[in-house]
């Protein structure tokens, strides 16, 4: 009997320990001494690359240590957000939309970072000259439901076409950006809608031709390719850290706009540090010229992306976007700087 009581006590202790541990993998142990910032090694995340290179974010955050987290796809970054492994991140709006829906609001957009920065390219021997020529063709995008995928679906819709999976005549295929080069070169795909520097790289390496330039894809380029997202819990607990981060982000954005060539070279240095290979000069500057640096997350364009995500079935549950954008800290900083606020 005594042995049974001991065993029962051990079980109770274990259960209580498990219950006490629930929910501690997010920010329960976060005292603000560290912030985890996510980014891609892409020119569309230029502020992150330059801010890492020159230490500007760390200087702005002072005693708060930065842990940089590198990702190559929006879906994996969102999963890290939802697991509490990332606090702030540069990311495309498409994945944020999905993450916001999946988590019922645990990820929020606090600023824009860059617009456009993508092109529709085709094989050098292709007869594709317009969107209508995509009928019967295979077109690659980096990831289903990402920004380029949604833009492609808008283009098809505007031209009376649709995805083969929805009864249309255009086959949309998902492929990692580095793999698109070999697929296009072999003729396994006919075209691709890709972010920079991949568009310029495909032009440079395999002679791919631009069908639609960055300002012809959608809304004359006034759509977000990169925004800044934050974990809601982190924003609530550490608004001071978020504000310091955004101040550095604004300064970096201004710097890039006023010093395009120098900023491109600095981003390239960090790109080399991360990938062990810098971009060729023509690829680098072509990429930067296709990018519009902005703090505006383009709310209306993002809401159009939400509607397209619902239409295509990427979002299947009821959707309320009232808390998707949290721009009060950004607007506070903009107002102090005498700049137009974001509505």
pLDDT of residue 30: 66
d(CA 64, CA 79): 24
For the chain, the farthest-separated pair of C-alpha atoms sits apart, in whole angstroms, at 84
Question: Residue 170 has what DSSP assignment?
Answer: B
- The CATH number assigned to the domain with range 118-213 reads 3.40.190.10
Give pLDDT, residue 312.
86
Global pTM reads 0.86
- Residues of the chain where predicted confidence (pLDDT) is lower than 50: 1-2, 4-29
Which stretches does DSSP call E strand in the chain? 34-39, 65-70, 88-91, 107-116, 118-122, 138-141, 171-174, 191-195, 209-212, 224-231, 291-293
Identify the pLDDT of residue 7.
44
CATH code at 34-116+223-336: 3.40.190.10
Residue (of 36, 174, 26) closest to 106 by Cα position: 26
The region that residue 105 occupies, defined by phi over 0 for left and psi between -120 and 50 for alpha, beta otherwise, is left
* Cα 37 from Cα 89, distance rounded (Å): 5
Question: Computed over its alpha carbons, how large is the radius of gyration of the chain?
Answer: 22
Cβ atoms of 230 and 88 closer than 8 Å: yes
Task: Tell me, yes or no, if the two domains 34-116+223-336 and 118-213 fold the same way.
Answer: yes
Q: Within 13 Å and on the Cβ side, how many CA atoms surround 112?
A: 25
pLDDT at 130: 96
Domain assignments of the chain as residue spans, ordered by start: 34-116+223-336, 118-213
């Amino acid at each position: 009997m005594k042995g049974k009581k001991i065993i029962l006590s051990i079980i109770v202790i274990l259960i209580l320990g498990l219950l006490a541990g629930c929910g501690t993998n997010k920010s329960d142990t976060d005292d603000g001494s560290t912030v985890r910032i996510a980014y891609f090694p892409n020119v569309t995340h230029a502020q992150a690359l330059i801010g890492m290179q020159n230490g500007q974010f760390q200087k702005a955050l002072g005693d708060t240590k930065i842990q940089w987290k590198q990702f190559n796809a929006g879906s994996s970054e969102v999963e890290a957000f939802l697991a509490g492994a990332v606090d702030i991140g540069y990311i495309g709006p498409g994945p944020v939309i999905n993450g916001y829906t999946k988590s019922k609001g645990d990820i929020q957009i606090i600023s824009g970072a860059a617009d456009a920065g993508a092109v529709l390219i085709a094989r050098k021997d292709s007869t594709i000259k317009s969107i209508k020529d995509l009928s019967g063709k295979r077109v690659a995008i980096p990831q289903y439901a990402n920004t380029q995928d949604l833009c492609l679906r808008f283009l098809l819709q505007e031209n009376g076409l649709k995805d083969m999976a929805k009864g249309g005549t255009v086959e949309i295929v998902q492929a990692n950006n580095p793999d698109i080069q070999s697929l296009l070169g072999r003729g396994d795909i006919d075209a691709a809608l890709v972010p920079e520097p991949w568009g310029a790289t495909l032009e440079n390496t395999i002679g791919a031709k631009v069908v639609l330039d960055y300002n012809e894809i959608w809304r004359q380029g006034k759509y977000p390719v990169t925004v800044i997202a934050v974990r809601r819990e982190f924003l609530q607990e550490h608004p001071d850290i978020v504000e310091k981060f955004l101040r550095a982000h604004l300064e970096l954005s201004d710097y890039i706009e006023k010093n395009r060539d120098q900023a491109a070279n600095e981003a390239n240095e960090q790109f080399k540090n991360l990938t062990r290979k810098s971009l060729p000069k023509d690829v680098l500057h072509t990429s930067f010229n296709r990018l519009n640096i902005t703090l505006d997350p383009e709310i209306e364009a993002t809401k159009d992306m939400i509607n397209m995500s619902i239409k295509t079935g990427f979002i299947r549950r009821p959707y309320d976007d009232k808390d998707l954008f949290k721009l009060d800290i950004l607007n506070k900083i903009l107002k102090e700087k005498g700049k137009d606020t974001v509505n």
